Chains A and B, each alone.
Chain A
């Protein structure tokens, strides 16, 4: 099935960045289905994956409408190539162990909660409506993840060591979440949504509080730069998309 190309219009790109980040994170979380350490957490991961999928759907559908090329959310999800996916790199990293998963969830849910909060006042009414729903969901995800981060950080030597290892692995990828470019400037100017850089300060404050509770040291500012939000992904992204897109690529338009 032929790939589609999407507009480089900054409004469309801003929406795709958010929608893609939710979608790819949802895909990674859904991998826990049937593999959770206990049944309750298996269910929790699947539930959060579902919320993120619904959020991605709302945002991608809006991206398609604003693009005006007739692309719906399914086409945007299934028919774009890796370079046209503009999700933050942190979302595509392999799910790792449970410590890695809950720490990434805490990082992302905190970021998304701040993002949805701001987007409730978006100049785009439909995006604001998606945000008003999503903000409550993100808050719940955040509490679930934070609860686990504290439990592991404050638990056994093994759980604390795993959490520290997860932090070392994840932290370099957080810089991308606050690095603004012309897409952000355009969004901030038009009232579509905040520049990603605006979320850094409140996010850092919440992370600091969480790390203190979990006996984790705040790492130094990362020097590493990842760039998934501009289409340059890690080596893991191709595998994510192979899983996500296989069916629609092999059987175009196939439905259940």
Chain B
């Protein structure tokens, strides 16, 4: 039980737990690395978790909320209240460097910082996450989930996904 736990310690524990809650669509990265956990705070004995969804219609949003709740409960950090925070809107710039590295290893080309990203009209020339070649092309503006597009490497001929910078 956590009744004796100081609020700051309980918050720190919660952040550690969230480091291991996987994103349902890209299970190699955690919800914390994805940057959707905006704040964790104890108030009035309740552990408040603030989540910012990635896309308006992302069907994983509710699954993520449930995963967060279950993990924190299992760690004995409850009672928990999960709140959706829409503003400011989530951006791929909030994905941690570690998250981007894991994404790359998993075979998904990570997003550039939106500061450096070209407008979408100019299809970005991506680096193949498999062989590192820059000789790649876009096959489809949309991929298996709202947040990704589909590409192919002309060097190793492997298809790969790209996490779109937004």
Partner of A133, one of B90, B143, B145: B90
- Taking a contact as CB atoms under 8 Å apart, the answer to whether B55 and A51 are in contact is yes
With contacts A40-B150, A130-B56, A134-B56 known, is A125 near B139, CB below 8 A? Answer: no
Q: How many A residues touch the partner, as a band?
A: 20 to 34
CB-CB nearest in chain B for A146? B121
With contacts A47-B146, A132-B88, A136-B166 known, is A143 near B57, CB below 8 A? Answer: no
- Taking a contact as CB atoms under 8 Å apart, the answer to whether A130 and B86 are in contact is yes
Answer whether residue B96 sits at the interface, using C-beta atoms and an 8 A cutoff: no
CB-CB nearest in chain A for B90? A133
- Taking a contact as CB atoms under 8 Å apart, the answer to whether A52 and B57 are in contact is yes
Answer whether residue B15 sits at the interface, using C-beta atoms and an 8 A cutoff: no
> How many residues of B are counted as interface, with CB atoms below 8 angstroms from the partner's CB atoms?
24
CA distance A246 to B28 in the complex (A): 39
Answer whether residue A128 sits at the interface, using C-beta atoms and an 8 A cutoff: yes
CA distance A48 to B166 in the complex (A): 15
CB-CB nearest in chain B for A22? B56
- Taking a contact as CB atoms under 8 Å apart, the answer to whether A50 and B146 are in contact is yes
Answer whether residue A57 sits at the interface, using C-beta atoms and an 8 A cutoff: yes
Answer whether residue B5 sits at the interface, using C-beta atoms and an 8 A cutoff: no
Which chain A residues lie closer than 8 Å to B166 at the CB level? Answer: 136, 140
Partner of B57, one of A54, A136, A140: A54
With contacts A51-B56, A54-B56 known, is A133 near B86, CB below 8 A? Answer: yes
Which chain A residues lie closer than 8 Å to B86 at the CB level? Answer: 58, 126, 129-130, 132-133
Answer whether residue A44 sits at the interface, using C-beta atoms and an 8 A cutoff: yes
Q: A47-B145, A52-B57, A129-B87 are in contact. List 4 more A-B contacts (CB 8 A).
A: A43-B142, A53-B57, A54-B56, A140-B120
Q: Which B residues fall within an 8 A CB radius of A?
A: 53, 55-59, 86-90, 120-121, 139-146, 150, 164, 166
